């Protein structure tokens, strides 16, 4: 299990090593002896917990522990900060709490006690994070249940959902695989007056043709071999609610006729049945194939198409949603870190670059899966392109000649090492076994920015 990061800020070397020794086994310990180092470390490492000496006397910069409380919280508001104080600064300590510190602790330090405080703080932090995610979901729920998106393309989608949710209109949702069609179908239902009634999804492409009719419309006892009793179909189950016909393009044409019949007269007939049954069901359909082309191929009925496509919500490809890809990446990051009980991670600048540039043929589902995988396998705070299954650089450009291949690998490796040493040129050069000036030259040649 990955360790949470604990930053100890104290100008007293003795206290730093005492705490490090006491906590080293359970936490990744970071140390800072002055305010500037503390802030810099917090920015780079994003600790979960900080033990902050209140009278940190940093003579060179004349800053005290108290002064960096707020800047630390600004780095990441979820950081739990405990002020470590002497007996005579209790007033200061209470002031710190009013400014956002989590607690205070009076010296002398007892390792077991501080251990317990950290454990409790991290538990609170986890609960807070969960609460925040749930609140976010609730807020979205009031609008559109979990659909993340701020791009103009998605705003249009939201407007359409808002406009058609309250009606009983049939809606056709189109879009490539993984663009969120099912999510939108649910949003339409759960924002409609039918929200407390059944929402029945059925994937028309996943059920064998011979079974689909009885699955949709039900059957009477003895209607066919194996029909031992009467069975209600999905339409009847959805009565007063909504049926979601996913992959409607896969529906066989004989059933398309029956569906058309329902749309016109609101009646169905069970397989082997003798009479019509009147139902009140709203239809939402989705497809990722081009129905107009299916009509050309005579696989989809034109009359049905015009009937269901009066209102068409077309979901844009993820690559056409601009910065939404980053919003979504962060949304999944928070969600999965929480689900897998890992401290909140962040993306490396290089990973963000990949996320922005990648084609995302599998759309949001692919992004979701890549983030999930990264969080499961990554052991550090920062997610790298490799964690997300990106082969360095390959997505951006494919080398053809051997010399291009060499150069590309050289550039990729330099990038990787620079990122590993957080842009520290001396350390990176040492690792690469080249001089600093050669490294500068190569960075210039390949246009590699310092991370």
Ligand X SMILES: Nc1ncnc2c1ncn2[C@@H]1O[C@H](COP(=O)(O)OP(=O)(O)OP(=O)(O)O)[C@@H](O)[C@H]1O
Residues lying near ligand X in the complex (CB under 6 A) are found at: 146-149, 175, 177-183, 288, 328, 364-365, 368
Min dist. Cβ of residue 178 to Mg ion (A):
8
Min dist. Cβ of residue 365 to ligand X (A):
4
Q: Where are the alpha helices (DSSP H) in 144-249?
A: 152-164, 181-190, 209-217, 234-237
| DSSP conformational letter for 271 | B
Q: How far is CA 388 from the centre of its chain?
A: 13
Closest CA to 8 of 86, 25, 34: 34
Min dist. Cβ of residue 177 to ligand X (A):
3
For the sheet containing 5-9, what is the strand order? Answer: 28-32, 5-9, 49-53, 80-85, 103-106
Tokens of 303: 């009359």
Mask for 125-164, x = binds Mg ion (CB under 5 A): ----------------------------------------
Q: Which lies closer to Mg ion via its Cβ, residue 169 or residue 182?
A: 182
Q: Which lies closer to ligand X via its Cβ, residue 328 or residue 374?
A: 328
Q: Which lies closer to ligand X via its Cβ, residue 114 or residue 188?
A: 188
Min dist. Cβ of residue 235 to ligand X (A):
21
Min dist. Cβ of residue 418 to ligand X (A):
33
- Of Mg ion, ligand X, none, which one does residue 179 interact with (CB within 5 to 8 Å by kind)? ligand X
Spatial CB neighbours of 104, under 8 Å, sequence gap ≥ 6: 54, 82, 83, 84, 85, 90, 93, 94, 96, 97
Shortest Cβ contact with ligand X: which residue?
180
Q: Which lies closer to ligand X via its Cβ, residue 18 or residue 170?
A: 170
267-268 vs 277-278, strand pairing mode: antiparallel
Min dist. Cβ of residue 166 to ligand X (A):
21
Q: Which lies closer to ligand X via its Cβ, residue 259 or residue 364?
A: 364
- Cis peptide bond upstream of 428, omega within 30: no
Q: Which lies closer to Mg ion via its Cβ, residue 15 or residue 248?
A: 248
Q: How many Cα atoms sit within 13 Å of 80 on the Cβ side?
A: 23
Return the residues of window 159-198 that contact Mg ion according to CB under 5 A: 182
Sign of CA dihedral 293, 294, 297, 298: negative
- Of Mg ion, ligand X, none, which one does residue 178 interact with (CB within 5 to 8 Å by kind)? ligand X
- Of Mg ion, ligand X, none, which one does residue 148 interact with (CB within 5 to 8 Å by kind)? ligand X
With 0-12 CB in 10 A as exposed, 13-18 as middle and 19+ as buried, what is 296?
exposed
Return residues touching Mg ion (CB under 5 A). Answer: 182
């Amino acid at each position: 299990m990955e360790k949470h990061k604990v930053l100890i800020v104290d100008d007293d070397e003795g206290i730093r090593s005492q705490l490090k020794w006491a906590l080293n086994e359970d936490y990744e310990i970071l140390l800072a002896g002055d305010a500037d180092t503390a802030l810099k470390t917090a920015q780079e490492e994003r600790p979960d917990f900080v033990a902050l000496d209140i009278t940190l006397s940093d003579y060179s910069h004349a800053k005290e522990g108290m002064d960096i409380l707020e800047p630390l919280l600004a780095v990441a508001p979820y950081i739990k900060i405990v002020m470590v104080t002497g007996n005579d600064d209790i007033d200061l300590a209470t002031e710190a709490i009013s400014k956002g510190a989590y607690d205070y602790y009076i010296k002398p330090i007892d390792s077991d006690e501080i251990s317990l405080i950290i454990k409790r703080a991290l538990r609170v932090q986890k609960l807070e994070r969960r609460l925040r995610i749930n609140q976010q979901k609730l807020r979205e729920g009031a609008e559109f249940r979990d659909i993340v998106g701020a791009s103009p393309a998605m705003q249009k989608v939201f407007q359409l959902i808002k406009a058609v949710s309250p009606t009983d209109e049939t809606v056709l949702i189109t879009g490539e695989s993984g663009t969120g069609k099912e999510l939108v179908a649910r949003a339409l239902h759960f924002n409609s007056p039918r929200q407390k009634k059944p929402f029945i999804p059925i994937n028309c492409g996943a059920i064998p043709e011979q079974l689909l009719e009885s699955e949709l419309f039900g059957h009477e006892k003895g209607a066919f071999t194996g029909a031992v009793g009467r069975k209600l179909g999905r339409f009847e189950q959805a009565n007063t609610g909504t049926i979601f016909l996913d992959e409607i393009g896969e529906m066989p044409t004989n059933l398309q006729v029956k569906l058309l019949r329902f749309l016109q007269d609101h009646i169905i007939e069970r397989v082997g049945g003798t009479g019509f049954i009147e139902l009140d069901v709203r239809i939402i359909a989705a497809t990722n194939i081009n129905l107009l082309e299916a009509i050309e191929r005579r696989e989809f009925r034109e009359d049905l198409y015009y009937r269901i496509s009066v209102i068409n919500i077309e979901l844009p490809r993820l690559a056409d949603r601009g910065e939404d890809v980053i919003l979504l990446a962060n949304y999944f990051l928070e969600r999965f870190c929480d689900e897998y009980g890992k401290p909140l991670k962040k993306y490396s600048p290089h990973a963000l670059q990949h996320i922005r540039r990648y084609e995302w043929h599998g759309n949001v589902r692919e992004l979701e899966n890549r983030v999930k995988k990264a969080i499961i396998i990554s052991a550090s705070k920062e997610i790298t392109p490799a964690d997300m299954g990106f082969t360095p650089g390959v997505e951006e450009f494919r080398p053809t000649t051997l010399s291009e291949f060499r150069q590309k690998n050289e550039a990729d490796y330099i990038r990787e090492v620079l990122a590993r040493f957080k842009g520290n040129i001396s350390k990176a050069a040492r690792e690469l076994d080249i001089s600093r000036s050669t490294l500068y030259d190569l960075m210039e040649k390949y246009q590699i920015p310092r991370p």
